[in-house]
Amino acid sequence: MKTDKSNRLKPRLPRGLADRGGAEIAASERMLAKIREVYERYGFEPMETPFIEYTDALGKFLPDQDRPNEGVFSFKDDDEQWLSLRYDLTAPLARHVAEHFDALPKPFRSYRAGWVFRNEKPGPGRFRQFMQFDADTVGAASPAADAEMCMMMADAMEAVGVARGDYVIKVSSRKLLEGLREVLSGQSAIGDAQWLGVLRAIDKLDRLGPNGVFQLLTGGRKDESGDFTKGAGLAADGADRVMRFLGFCVDAAQARAFYAPDTSPGDLERDNFRRLERLEKTAGFGPTGAQALLDLKALAQFARAGGYDESRILIDRSVVRGLEYYTGPVFEAELTFKVPNEKGESVVFGSVGGGGRYDGLVGRFRGEDVPATGFSIGVSRLFSALKAVKSPIVTGLAEHGPVVVLVMDRERVEDYQRMASELRSAGIKAEMYLGQAGMKAQMKYADKRGSPLVIIQGENEKAKGEVEIKDLIEGARQATAIASHEEYKSARPAQFAVPEAKLVEAVHEALRRQGKA
């Protein structure tokens, strides 16, 4: 069918979405399998939910009429109810647990990998459909459950080939920040909206640096394109208090920056318990903060008892994480090795996953809070990290292609089909060439498919009751030494004949020589 060019359909993908090829799928499956092994070993069981949920079950508000798809992809069911594509795996899990609460063993320990969707501006490494790999424990209030999450995340990192020392699980607590708010409110009340602004400012520490954060805590900040961001509106002494909580003090020199990292001995201490002591002394918390310190201390003790030292699980008060539903400890898996960015600068790879305690999420469906903790790995981000460190899990060669049976004589396709079937019955990946092209093109096809071998049986071989087997890998190697085409043609490198009856045996043997069977 020929269509007029002017109305021909354009093949194109909406922005922020991507197709995946065989090599990437295989590598990603290997990675997921390693993570799955770790989760299973900890006693978690698989559980999945669908891509679509009622919008209200996902935890936010109904889409508004003007912009129904802001952030989340939404549409109306035929009964006028709003449905949405899930944007994480935690809210659907909470829905599932609440729905089957009485039937589930508690604590309920489950894991799942799945696609999630966010209708946001995509960028390099940021898609509108991406995969997360979650594990959650619902019904356990003990910090032991949180500690276990951190340990499991650390194990998962090592299982996929991130060396110890190349990652760290950073831990803080939403309650620490709440304690800070209590102290600040002692001077002047801080409303929810203003507090949200403070949290957002803190969250930008890694990107904007201490002085950028200070600006956002107070009046506001102008970025390099001249755009102005309104600040949280704290008074200078309040903002100073926040900065000191984050581990910064006024730069004595005041040369270029107002704030510099606090380099007092306690702050450089790589010991979770001393870090907590110092935090208690310098920050000055209200009752909620005091509780957070107890939680974190317990978590640190569990980690130490499990043999996970500060090179793997480290208390770090600058971790903020998702601002909405976390209620206690929060964690972040950070890769600490450096990679070149687009500008050629060397930067740490950064976060590949995170999580925390969300005691209120299941409770939205019930009368009471249900304690829960979990974490999520950003699969594609971890995947690109593994490529950066050349983990064997993702750099391993792609699966080889099928043995291709060439169609030399169109009258005899049944014979070729039978050969392919024989090879398959023997467990060998094989196919008969299904296109229309001649032999040369068939060879090119086999080459492109990554075939280890092709099977050739034209008139000559048939007459002798033989088949030719050509080793494409060895052939390519030999070809580099051949300059003229005449020689190349007559040499027929890496090719040999076997009796027709010995086809399967000979193919097995040839694959073995290649180390592929």
Partner RNA sequence: GCAGCCGUAGCUCAGUUGGUUAGAGCACCAGAUUGUGGAUCUGGGGGUCGGCGGUUCGAAUCCACCCGGCUGUACCA
Q: Is 52 exposed, middle or buried (0-12, 13-18, 19+ CB in 10 A)?
A: middle
From residue 185 to residue 224, the character string flagging contacts with RNA as x (rule: CB under 7 A) and all else as - is: ---------------x---x--xx-------x----x-xx
Q: Does 339 bind RNA (CB under 7 A)?
A: no
Q: Are 216 and 208 in contact (CB under 8 A)?
A: yes
Q: Are 380 and 17 in contact (CB under 8 A)?
A: no
Q: What's the closest the beta carbon of residue 7 comes to RNA, in angstroms?
A: 9
Q: What's the closest the beta carbon of residue 345 comes to RNA, in angstroms?
A: 10
Residue number with CB closer to RNA (26 or 473): 473
Backbone angles phi, psi at 137, to 5 degrees: -120, 115
Q: Are 262 and 244 in contact (CB under 8 A)?
A: yes
Q: What's the closest the beta carbon of residue 297 comes to RNA, in angstroms?
A: 27
Q: How many CA atoms lie within 13 A of 175 on its CB side?
A: 18
Q: Does 83 bind RNA (CB under 7 A)?
A: no
Contacts of 159 (CB under 8 A, 6+ apart): 34, 35, 37, 38
Residue number with CB closer to RNA (87 or 245): 87
Say how far apart CA 431 and CA 449 lie, in whole Å: 11
For residues 218-247, which are near RNA according to CB under 7 A? 221, 223-227, 229
Q: Are 261 and 247 in contact (CB under 8 A)?
A: yes
**Alpha helices per DSSP H over 59-173:** 90-99, 143-159
Q: Does 375 bind RNA (CB under 7 A)?
A: no
Q: How would you classify the pairing of strands 45-46 and 108-117?
A: parallel
Taking CB under 7 A as the binding criterion, the range among 45-53, 275-283, 345-353, 490-498 that sits at the site for RNA is: 490-498
From residue 87 to residue 126, the character string flagging contacts with RNA as x (rule: CB under 7 A) and all else as - is: xx--x--------------------------xxxxxxx--
Q: Does 72 bind RNA (CB under 7 A)?
A: yes
Using alpha carbons, select from 156, 141, 137, 132 the residue that is nearest to residue 43. 137
Distance set, CA 433 to CA 222, 233, 449, 454, 499 (Å): 63, 70, 11, 10, 21
Say how far apart CA 13 and CA 17 lie, in whole Å: 7
Taking CB under 7 A as the binding criterion, the range among 234-242, 280-288, 366-374, 480-488 that sits at the site for RNA is: 480-488
Taking CB under 7 A as the binding criterion, the range among 22-30, 306-314, 320-328, 330-338 that sits at the site for RNA is: 320-328
Q: Does 438 bind RNA (CB under 7 A)?
A: yes
Residue number with CB closer to RNA (418 or 492): 492
Q: What's the closest the beta carbon of residue 453 comes to RNA, in angstroms?
A: 10
Q: Does 492 bind RNA (CB under 7 A)?
A: yes
Say how far apart CA 42 and CA 36 lie, in whole Å: 10
Residue number with CB closer to RNA (417 or 495): 495
Q: What's the closest the beta carbon of residue 120 comes to RNA, in angstroms?
A: 5
Q: Are 446 and 404 in contact (CB under 8 A)?
A: yes
Q: Does 484 bind RNA (CB under 7 A)?
A: yes
Residue number with CB closer to RNA (161 or 355): 355
Q: What's the closest the beta carbon of residue 18 comes to RNA, in angstroms?
A: 11
For residues 245-274, which are near RNA according to CB under 7 A? none
Say how far apart CA 129 and CA 131 lie, in whole Å: 7
Contacts of 39 (CB under 8 A, 6+ apart): 111, 135, 152, 156
Q: Does 360 bind RNA (CB under 7 A)?
A: no
From residue 442 to residue 461, the character string flagging contacts with RNA as x (rule: CB under 7 A) and all else as - is: -xx-xx--------x-xxxx
Say how far apart CA 429 and CA 30 lie, in whole Å: 20
Question: Which residues contribute to the site for RNA (CB under 7 A)?
Answer: 5-6, 15-16, 59-60, 71-72, 87-88, 91, 118-124, 200, 204, 207-208, 216, 221, 223-227, 229, 322-325, 342, 408, 437-441, 443-444, 446-447, 456, 458-461, 468, 470, 472-476, 478-480, 482-485, 488-489, 492-495
